[in-house]
């Protein structure tokens, strides 16, 4: 399974709803990502440019995009970004592979 970081912002309607009836949105996020074929690992409410950050596992990025589209269609989130994340061990293997093929690349000029 691959790891993805999904960030976004709550809409004004979502904020109004959370103030009117405060709730922990983790369960709703877990159900959404499960329905899309992913698994929620962590859910954070954040400050700054984004209002939330979730970390999910999925076979591919499609699950994260589908979940984001569904939430955005409900009008409660916007400005969704999805980033693929690799462990340091995975990145080390990629660097090793790059070292094996580096001679196949000819720089311009």
Q: How many independent structural domains does the chain possess?
A: 1
Q: What is the DSSP letter of 51?
A: S
CA distance 92 to 43: 27
pLDDT of residue 96: 97
Q: What is the DSSP letter of 77?
A: E
pLDDT of residue 36: 93
Q: What would the two tokens of residue 94 be? A: 């990629």
In a domain, 109, yes or no: no
In a domain, 56, yes or no: yes
pLDDT, averaged in runs of 10, over the chain (109 residues)? 95 96 96 95 97 95 90 94 96 96 92
Q: What is the maximal distance between C-alpha atoms in the chain?
A: 63
Q: What would the two tokens of residue 55 be? A: 């970390």
Q: Model's pTM, two decimal places?
A: 0.86
CA distance 62 to 59: 8
In a domain, 91, yes or no: yes
């Amino acid at each position: 399974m691959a790891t993805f970081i999904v960030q976004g912002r709550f809409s004004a309607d979502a904020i109004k709803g959370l103030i009117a009836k405060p709730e922990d949105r983790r369960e709703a996020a877990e159900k959404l990502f499960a329905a899309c074929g992913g698994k929620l690992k962590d859910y954070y409410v954040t400050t700054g440019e984004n209002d939330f950050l979730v970390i999910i596992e999925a076979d591919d990025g499609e699950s994260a995009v589908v979940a984001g589209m569904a939430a955005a269609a409900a009008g409660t989130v916007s400005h969704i970004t999805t980033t693929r994340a690799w462990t340091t061990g995975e990145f080390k293997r990629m660097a090793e592979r790059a070292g094996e093929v580096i001679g196949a690349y000819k720089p311009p000029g």
